[in-house]
A and B are shown apart, each in its own frame.
Chain A
């Protein structure tokens, strides 16, 4: 049986158990790092710490009319300040669910500062992800503020079986929606028509929120014909518009939705046509992509380093780095669409060598095969590191490169 730290990944997550285990991990970190508490303002961080839901909002709305988490060391439950009390987890005691507090504005920040003093007390060290000026004034030097990334990063890095089940559920909805979108990909269709079908289907299928402007980027044959970039590499991803797709276009697809707080990450390469067939050169790109993924997976198991994966991927690509200059070979996914571990970034080889794979880590492998003159192939799949290797959390065909 495939296990993660001795436990199977359930078909459906036990959300109450999942949230309790996340809270325990945060408490363990607060304790280990000598912190009195933690105030979180970022949407995905609050979702992780409290289980708070809410509609998917534009950044301006999500920043001004925020959900806020206050985690107090030693307390059984976190405090949640939210404009959306209907989406608070059922197990949170009423006394821990508060109205919205708008910490970016002085009135709201004063209310949050008061809550911090009441529940955490003064003088201790407080972890924070963001401190708007108004909140800084409201806290009035009462606490020593340190970055929350040390606590959150450690708690988020290795997922529990329930978290993996959530990621798989989100991915399944995203994939099912794409089965209905791909048949639309014909000459004359606009990028936004694909977004329209996609958004309709994900909401019908049970997505809580959409996470990103759905990307349907038409890749140029040659890099030089694409947008200028600071590093001379590929420009990806670029936002969508009413651009009309044409016969033979190579489209790189990238979308993400959220279910129970967890993100999906769908990536495929599609070809535009009434009955699209890859050319032999395009098929070879796909085969090379497959070889890179297989090489990375061959070394994926607990104890391997991120550097083992990048080396295997580069070897399988004839010595060239098979990923986008400003990104990575692989990234994690959780309540953020991209989170640690990030493998192959500008943090460098020494950093990658220190990243050691462990059960519960999630890898979204997204190598890119660029074949200048004939565009390239890019797809993404999601894997979890298990007790003795890996398991796949995504499951979607590679049409038209592999017959469905």
Chain B
């Protein structure tokens, strides 16, 4: 029934991409001696199954949304229908939505090979979860599989990077929509509306977030707000814009800062230069073998305070580890193939704030800035 198309942001991904992800996942299970893996996060479920499922915003409590069994090589999926479920996940591998825990247990207990599992990996848990596992795999020990799953997801294949590039191209158009709508008197909310409309009209109806449209303060303390207001933007305000989109589950995004109206505030150019210089130093540190501490040190060498958002975080099927920033991720070690979203933010009282966000591919050599071609605003004095 389900038709696997080969183009478009919302399509189930190609056979090769799915097969490659699945192979990597099962290899990791074997290496970590995980007889079964119970996954709950939509991105992990998409990685393992290749299915496209209904998107909802926010974080939900952890539950068994997919089960991979090492012995059988099968991935079992919580899905009422086979809509956008790829053919390698057969009808026998689907189990339905249950409100009654007894029905959920019955579905899971019927999964071949699960009952005999000795080590069951999960990426999260809840107070009731061990009891659920005990009822479907009575001899199993629950193992933290987050490091194994994260290690599989982190290094991107060229095909995965191409999807991130495609998502980035959609995001760039979302940024254009905000730039076109930006003028004195428009509200931040109206910019987000333009962003959402443009990206959906390109066939990609989901957003990683609503994006950022933050008109920064021209006097007093300058803060980066990621929740839009209804206040009209004034001429000469520096406006931090951040756009994002998904292509087949992979996220792309870019952040830039533009000025409302024709005249940038005095000092706007210097602020932009400071931000770009600090960001450039940070990006240069994003190399295989570098630690989170190295990345933070690179930013701090500019003399700018750390941004109030993660300086860098992984990007793939949505936001992924590592998360690197103030007090977090110092010990993370970067591996080649990681795609990082690196955010720079500098402020100057009386001028405003300047944000830049780039996507960076970590390699064994020089990092590649995937968003390098997306023009920076660089306001003129």
Residues of A within 8 A of B (CB): 41-44, 53-66, 83-84, 86-87, 99, 102, 104-105, 107-108, 111, 127-134, 136, 145-148, 190-193, 195-197, 199-201, 203-204, 206, 208-215, 226-231, 235, 237-242, 258, 326-328, 337, 342, 345-348
Q: Which residues of A contact B56 (CB under 8 A)?
A: 59, 211-213, 337
Please state if B207 and A210 are interface contacts (CB–CB under 8 Å).
Answer: yes
Interchain nearest-CB distance for B339 vs A (Å): 13
Q: Could you name 5 residue pairs across A and B whose Cβ atoms are closer than 8 Å?
A: A42-B58, A43-B58, A61-B319, A200-B196, A228-B81
Asked whether B23 is an interface residue with its Cβ less than 8 Å from the other chain, the reply is no
A237→B53 CA distance, assembly (Å): 10
Please state if A62 and B43 are interface contacts (CB–CB under 8 Å).
Answer: no
Give the contacting residue for A213; candidates B55, B100, B146, B330; CB below 8 A: B55
Known: A60-B320, A62-B57, A64-B319. A199 touches B94 (CB 8 A): no
Docked complex: B93-149 residues within 8 A CB-CB of A: 94-100, 103, 122-128, 144, 146
CB 8 Å contact bits of B2-24 with A (1 = contact, 0 = none): 10000010110000000000000
Interchain nearest-CB distance for A107 vs B (Å): 5
Question: Which of B57, B95, B223, B309 lies at the interface centre, i.e. has the most chain A CB atoms within 10 A of its CB?
Answer: B57
A327→B80 CA distance, assembly (Å): 11
Please state if A227 and B206 are interface contacts (CB–CB under 8 Å).
Answer: no
Interchain nearest-CB distance for A127 vs B (Å): 8
- Say whether chain B's binding surface is mostly helix, strand, loop, or mixed: loop
Please state if B226 and A86 are interface contacts (CB–CB under 8 Å).
Answer: yes
Give the contacting residue for B42; candidates A59, A87, A200, A347; CB below 8 A: A59
Q: Which residues of A contact B323 (CB under 8 A)?
A: 64-65, 102, 105, 108
Give the contacting residue for A53; candidates B60, B205, B227, B246; CB below 8 A: B227
Please state if A83 and B309 are interface contacts (CB–CB under 8 Å).
Answer: yes
A91→B57 CA distance, assembly (Å): 26
What 9 pairs between A and B have smallest CB-CB spacing?
Answer: A60-B318, A43-B58, A235-B81, A196-B200, A200-B197, A133-B144, A199-B196, A195-B205, A203-B193
Please state if A59 and B206 are interface contacts (CB–CB under 8 Å).
Answer: no
Q: Which residues of A contact B327 (CB under 8 A)?
A: 107, 111
A111→B206 CA distance, assembly (Å): 32
A209→B206 CA distance, assembly (Å): 12
A58→B54 CA distance, assembly (Å): 12
Interchain nearest-CB distance for B105 vs A (Å): 12
Known: A59-B42, A132-B124, A213-B205. A227 touches B1 (CB 8 A): yes
Docked complex: B51-74 residues within 8 A CB-CB of A: 52-62
Asked whether B208 is an interface residue with its Cβ less than 8 Å from the other chain, the reply is yes
Please state if B82 and A227 are interface contacts (CB–CB under 8 Å).
Answer: yes
Please state if A197 and B318 are interface contacts (CB–CB under 8 Å).
Answer: no
Interchain nearest-CB distance for B50 vs A (Å): 14
User: Closest residue of chain B to A146, judged by CB?
Assistant: B127
A102→B52 CA distance, assembly (Å): 27
Please state if A59 and B100 are interface contacts (CB–CB under 8 Å).
Answer: no
Please state if A209 and B189 are interface contacts (CB–CB under 8 Å).
Answer: no
Give the contacting residue for B58; candidates A57, A146, A241; CB below 8 A: A57
Known: A111-B327, A147-B128, A196-B201. A59 touches B59 (CB 8 A): yes
Please state if A228 and B91 are interface contacts (CB–CB under 8 Å).
Answer: yes
Give the contacting residue for B127; candidates A102, A131, A132, A193; CB below 8 A: A131
Q: Which residues of B contact A111 (CB under 8 A)?
A: 327
Give the contacting residue for B59; candidates A41, A191, A206, A227; CB below 8 A: A41
Interchain nearest-CB distance for B37 vs A (Å): 14
CB 8 Å contact bits of B195-237 with A (1 = contact, 0 = none): 0111111111111111110000000000101110010000000
Give the contacting residue for A212; candidates B54, B83, B212, B226; CB below 8 A: B54
Q: Which residues of A contact B201 (CB under 8 A)?
A: 192-193, 196
Give the contacting residue for B57; candidates A132, A210, A229, A327; CB below 8 A: A210
Please state if A348 and B100 are interface contacts (CB–CB under 8 Å).
Answer: yes
Please state if A43 and B59 are interface contacts (CB–CB under 8 Å).
Answer: yes
Please state if A60 and B319 are interface contacts (CB–CB under 8 Å).
Answer: yes
Please state if A61 and B318 are interface contacts (CB–CB under 8 Å).
Answer: yes
Asked whether B317 is an interface residue with its Cβ less than 8 Å from the other chain, the reply is yes
Please state if A132 and B200 are interface contacts (CB–CB under 8 Å).
Answer: no
Interchain nearest-CB distance for A261 vs B (Å): 11
Known: A133-B124, A326-B80, A345-B100. A209 touches B57 (CB 8 A): yes
Q: Which residues of A contact B252 (CB under 8 A)?
A: none
Please state if A132 and B125 are interface contacts (CB–CB under 8 Å).
Answer: yes
CB 8 Å contact bits of B226-262 with A (1 = contact, 0 = none): 1100100000000000000010000100000000000
A117→B247 CA distance, assembly (Å): 42
Q: Which residues of B contact A43 (CB under 8 A)?
A: 57-60
